[in-house]
Amino acid sequence: MFKNVIVKSPGKSYLNGLTTSDLGTPNYELLLEQHAAYIEALKTCGVEITHLSESEEYPDSTFVEDAAVLTPEFAMITNPGAKSRNGEKEEIEAVLKNFYTNFHYITAPGTLDGGDVLQVDKHFYVGISERTDRKGAEQFKTIVESEGYKATIVELQEFFHLKTGIAYLGNNTVVAAGEFLDHPDFVDYEKVEIPATDEYSANCIKVNDYVIIPKGFEETKRKFAERGIETIELEMSEFQKHDGGLSCLSLRF
Ligand code: CIR
């Protein structure tokens, strides 16, 4: 069960943030509405919210997931791979001091974004991507193994971050899209298979008794309903325009 969640409001500078998509410029008002709805959904899931205010100097800092990896035993401060985002880790570390005493750090020259880390119970999967390099992934593996976890390094082929294409639901079940549908590292899991047309919905989050999914993906919604999983749907268009999904917007612990 998750007890706490950290979220951070997007500032106006979000509009100048990083993106690889050609979905257009985000609408700031709508972005704030979508962020507020995200927080409401988390409240429904029964977590306590730590809500950080916006930082105009870090346009992408609403995507708090990338600056840390959290477990019940320790907090790991990452070393985000995009130069314009690297300083985000300082604020996150300061906030996490209110919750943790046991800290680990990914250090240069290694880089790692939290979006490249999937936790499956006591086993982590860490993706090598445009943002996470091999040195960062290997540091990560050494650290988590020292804490009694297993770690598998996964080379990404197409996805932006590991969790862009895979999520864990518990009970040995993953939600998988694209390159993860038949990836050898995930063959032993039950899969909710996401078709190419609905790929964005593979980035969903299980928070206690609910799975939060992006709105507009009927097939995904149906697959969850079929399994008796209760979902909350959220409009995510303005985050999708900047390559962000549901997991990116919070640290859950
Ligand atoms: C970036 O390029 O860093 C942001 N525009 C999107 C980050 C998304 N984060 C995530 O998938 N964990």
What is the tens place of the pLDDT at every residue in 77-136?
Answer: 999 999 999 999 999 999 999 999 999 999 999 999 999 999 999 999 999 999 999 999
Amino acid, single-letter form, for residue 15: L
Using one digit for the tens of pLDDT, what is the confidence trace for 165-212?
Answer: 999 999 999 999 999 999 999 999 999 999 999 999 999 999 999 999
Burial of 141 (0-12, 13-18, 19+ CB in 10 A): middle
**Ligand 1 nearest-atom number relative to CA 85:** 3
Question: What's 30's domain CATH number?
Answer: 3.75.10.10
Contacts of 208 (CB under 8 A, 6+ apart): 1, 2, 45, 46, 47
Range 73-79 average pLDDT: 98
**Ligand 1 nearest-atom number relative to CA 164:** 11
Q: In this structure, what token pair is assigned to residue 162?
A: 């590991």
Residues 237 and 24: beta-carbon distance below 8 Å: no
Is the CB of 238 within 6 Å of ligand 1?
A: no
Is the CB of 242 within 6 Å of ligand 1?
A: yes
The predicted model scores a pTM of 0.97
Closest of 155, 189, 145, 153 to residue 171, by C-alpha: 189
pLDDT cut 70: percent of the chain above it: 100
Amino acid, single-letter form, for residue 224: F
Testing ligand 1's pocket by substitution, the residue of 160, 166, 204, 236 carrying the most ligand atoms inside 8 A of its CB is 160
**Ligand 1 nearest-atom number relative to CA 248:** 12
Which range marks the domain in which residue 142 is found?
Answer: 4-252
Phi and psi at 140, nearest 5°, equal: -55, -50
pLDDT of res. 205 = 98
Distance 115 CA to ligand 1 centre (A): 7
Distance 111 CA to ligand 1 centre (A): 14
Residues 126 and 154: beta-carbon distance below 8 Å: yes
3-state secondary structure the chain: CCCEEEEECCCHHHHHCCCCCCCCCCCHHHHHHHHHHHHHHHHHCCCEEEEECCCCCCCCCCCHHHHEEECCCCEEECECCCHHHCCHHHHHHHHHCCCCCCEEECCCCCCECHHHEEEECCEEEEEECCCCCHHHHHHHHHHHHHCCCEEEEEECCCCCCHHHCEEEEECCEEEEEHHHCCCHHHCCCEEEEECHHHHHHHCCEEECCEEEEECCCHHHHHHHHHCCCCEEEECCHHHHCCCCCCHHHCEEC
ipTM of the complex: 0.98
Range 154-166 average pLDDT: 98
pLDDT of res. 86 = 98
pLDDT of res. 5 = 98
Q: How far apart are the first and last CA of the chain?
A: 8
Range 52-58 average pLDDT: 98
pLDDT of res. 100 = 98
pLDDT of res. 59 = 98
Range 21-43 average pLDDT: 98
pLDDT of res. 143 = 98
Range 20-28 average pLDDT: 97
Q: In this structure, what token pair is assigned to residue 131?
A: 């943002």
Q: In this structure, what token pair is assigned to residue 55?
A: 């930082």
Testing ligand 1's pocket by substitution, the residue of 83, 240, 248 carrying the most ligand atoms inside 8 A of its CB is 248
Range 212-233 average pLDDT: 97
Is the CB of 82 within 6 Å of ligand 1?
A: yes
Active site residues: 161, 248
**Ligand 1 nearest-atom number relative to CA 163:** 11
The number of domains in the chain is 1
Taking the CA atoms of 251, 185, 123 and 121 in sequence, report the sign of the dihedral they define. positive
The pLDDT-based confidence of 250 (bands split at 50, 70, 90) is very high
pLDDT of res. 21 = 95
